[in-house]
A and B are shown apart, each in its own frame.
Chain A
Amino acid sequence: MKPKPLSSKRSDTLFSLLLDLPAFLLLLSFIVVPIVDSVIKSFQAYGVKNIITKKPGVWNDFANYLYLFKTDDFVGATLHTFSFVIGVVLVQFLLAILLALILNSNIRGARFMRSVMMTPWVVPTVISALIWMWLFQPQYGLLKYLVSLVTFGHLSDFAILNNPSTALTGVGVAALWKQIPLMTLLLLAGLQNVPQDISEAAMIDGAGKIRRFFSIILPYLSPVIKVSVSMSIIENFKQFPLFWTMTGGGPNNSTTTLAVLSYREAFVGMNLGSGAAITTLWMLMMIAVIFGYNKLFRVQEM
């Protein structure tokens, strides 16, 4: 008996599912499985020895999680992470939109500026960290020299990364330098899609620049803003290379973020279980932040 041929619709469905297969398998293999594996290990006594000897970890009655709250490190790292994310994302957004508006205003040399502006974005993060570390170097850094010059020698020991109350800002400056170009580019693309006729109609109706910005440009830009700010939140929430290269979490743990703390636990202390416990809580926080952000900034259909 001849098999019944598939209907065109079923055939198309099957075909589309097959086309989705690679993405699904990649997602499963490289994202879902490692995350689940990490969550499982966060409940186990699991060290490097287990990897070497191929012995499975042993359930340890939430010891990895309890351990995190026996010192101030986890709470401190959480505060540092949130301070960094909020500070960098806010400043980044404000500077990026300002730059995007300038570049969108057909000033002379805008095209050249757009190309040059992207340079920090293409520089690898570790290289950016090294550049800023040397600029901030407390004994022979360029910034120390410039600050001393500008203040006529009154401030001759400028060392932003050496002071526990300013070190986080120092890393934030490096993060802004690296990340502002991309956000500016995204916002600029969004600005160029704002319908000119509506803006011109508002202008004829007597709306000033500020009114047009808040009532026309910003609402039209909101989908782009939402995506670019989400990307920035995620990028800075998981920021590791800048911290590790520039400060290593110091001075006095003032730049120890969740990323630095989990790395220290897992790869300096060689305790993969407690490292996994930090990353699990860190991931849950990140999900909660992004969920809350999406809920708060629902995009209005224009």
Chain B
Amino acid sequence: MKKLLAMLLVVLVTTSILFAAGAAEKTVATEKPVTLKVANYALLESGYEQFWKNVKVGFEAQNPNITIEWVTAPYGEIVNQVVNMAGGGDKVDVIFGEIDWVPGLVDTGLAAPIRDILPPEFVNDFYPDVLKSFEVNGQPYGIPLYVSPYVLYYNKDLFKQAGLDPNTPPKTYTEMLSYAEKLSKLKDANGNKVYAFGQTTASVPVSGASLNAMVFNFGGQVLDAQGKLSVDNQGFKDAISMVQLLDQKGYNPQNAKLKDLRNLFALGQLAMYYDQSWGFNGVKSINAKAVDFTASAEPLKGGSGSGESLLQAHCFILMDNGKARTAALSKFVQYVISTDVLNDYLRDLTPAYPAKNSMASMESVVNNGILKGASPAAGRVRVQTFIPQISTLNLELCSLAQAVTVGKQDVSSAIEKFKASATVKISQ
């Protein structure tokens, strides 16, 4: 009897362990109510949680039959989370993320063309150039909430301390270097070094995107229109040489992530740096007084370039989960990308530019003091060709920047090595 009981126990424990993890969530099919699964890393980031909670409350109040279910994971893990869920047969309806995530999600077959889900009158209100940045094979696969080029944030107080006019930021890299010479002699209140200029080079894809924007500043390119590696151009070489020069002069904090630059800027240890416009929220969350000393300027012109930059956007990438859910999704997207919802957000949390005509005169955009200086740059962005391996390419760009800075390699040989490695990786 004891043995029989022991055997039963063994069988019970085994089956429960084996099958508990794989238990699928069953949903009762109902007629009208729809649950939208929205993947959103921002809910885990300080400052953004309340906004998204309000979005849920406001949207559900307007649409009683639709329930928003958040799917969250940290920024760096949310795409994997969405892919893993889809692999298990549980596809989310939309992911809030970066424009750079679009090609990868299109390649996996998850992203759906926005025109299949959203009404033409809504889509046609977006700036055509902006929508073009989301195209894969002629179809846009993401819809931006707001956009921004990489803007130059600078500290007006440090400019004053260095004897520079805080209302005249540099316009070219040459000017920036002369400013940097004065700024780099400053110390903060605690005697810490003040870095003159910040350009992220850490080993994360977004740093690669920022380096790509710098190449555009110099009139260069990384990929051609067909998505092939194309770095045999002076602009590319000039940009990488500038990264090296900034390091040699000790102006740029080595191997820094954008969040490191935001920290330093907030603490008054960095005079100028490139960031996505919404990066200012990170600065403000560290030092609320940063509003008083921060101003923005257009991306710098370098070499024969005209200071063009790379379009960055926070966007919705949509997925097709059948008629009922896509109809609800369409309502959700239209609800969020509206003046009513985004006005306070763009004013108080995330300085950025609207992506559609009807939002151009929003109070939060017109009266945004922080973004005023950089505004002319909003129309000077270049479309980066989408390839599925864009994140891999961006990481290779970071390695190149590190090779010529902390790696102390010569620019030409580092570029040759980069070409050999990147060509193999993006052709895989």
Contact = CB atoms under 8 A, between A and B. Distances in A.
A53 B87 CA distance: 8
Nearest to A24: B14
A250 B402 contact: yes
Interface in B389-405: 389, 391-392, 395, 398-399, 402-403
A248 B407 contact: no
B1 interface: no
Interface in A48-102: 48-49, 51-53, 67, 70-73
Nearest to A267: B80
B253 A52 contact: no
Nearest to B409: A252
B402 A51 contact: no
A190 interface: no
A253 interface: yes
A51 B83 contact: yes
A137 B267 CA distance: 15
Contacts of A274: 428
A135 B195 CA distance: 20
Interface string A240-275: 000000011111110000000000100111110010
Q: Which of B18, B108, B203, B425 has the most CB of A within 10 A?
A: B203
Contacts of A22: 10, 13-14, 17
Contacts of B392: 264, 268-269
A67 B17 CA distance: 39
A268 B6 CA distance: 47
A162 interface: yes
A40 interface: no
A15 B17 contact: no
A278 B389 CA distance: 18
A25 interface: yes
Given A29-B18, A267-B80, A73 B421 contact: yes
Contact of A270 (B107, B203, B204, B407): B107
A19 interface: yes
A139 B18 contact: no
Tier of interface size on chain A: 35 or more
Given A22-B14, A162-B255, A162-B406, A51 B107 contact: no
B109 interface: yes
B185 to A, nearest CB: 15
A49 B399 contact: no
Interface in A25-47: 25-26, 29, 47
Nearest to A48: B108
B255 A52 contact: no
A195 interface: no
B86 A269 contact: no
Contacts of A164: 402, 406-407
B205 A251 contact: no
Residue with the highest number of chain B CB atoms closer than 10 Å, among A29, A51, A73, A252:
A252
B110 interface: yes
Interface residues of B, number: 48
Contact of B402 (A49, A70, A73, A251): A251
Contact of B424 (A70, A137, A161): A70
B308 to A, nearest CB: 27
B107 A49 contact: yes
Nearest to B14: A22
Interface in B221-273: 253-255, 260, 263-264, 267, 269
A15 B424 contact: no
A252 B403 contact: yes
Interface in B20-63: none
Contacts of A194: none
Contacts of A73: 421
Given A139-B260, A252-B403, A268-B391, A15 B7 contact: yes
Interface string B380-392: 0000000011011
Interface in A167-188: none
Contacts of A21: 10, 14
A163 interface: yes
B402 A248 contact: no
A115 to B, nearest CB: 33
A268 B421 contact: no
A247 B108 contact: no
Contacts of B424: 67, 70-71
A161 B428 CA distance: 30
Contact of B203 (A29, A67, A156, A249): A249
Contacts of B107: 47-49, 270
Contacts of A147: none
Interface in B45-97: 80, 83, 86-87
A268 B204 CA distance: 10
B152 to A, nearest CB: 20
B323 interface: no
A163 B406 contact: yes
A219 interface: no
A51 B82 CA distance: 12
Contacts of B402: 164, 250-252
Interface string B186-208: 00000011010000001111000
A138 interface: yes
A159 interface: yes
B395 A264 contact: yes
Given A248-B202, A251-B254, 6 more contacts: A25-B14, A48-B107, A51-B83, A138-B254, A139-B263, A269-B392
11 contacts: A21-B14, A22-B13, A29-B18, A51-B87, A67-B424, A72-B421, A139-B253, A140-B192, A251-B407, A252-B407, A270-B104
Interface of A: 11, 15, 18-19, 21-22, 25-26, 29, 47-49, 51-53, 67, 70-73, 137-140, 156, 159, 161-164, 247-253, 264, 267-271, 274
When A and B form their complex, which 9 residue pairs have the shortest distance between CB atoms, in order from nearest?
A250-B203, A248-B203, A51-B87, A252-B407, A252-B402, A22-B14, A48-B108, A251-B402, A269-B392
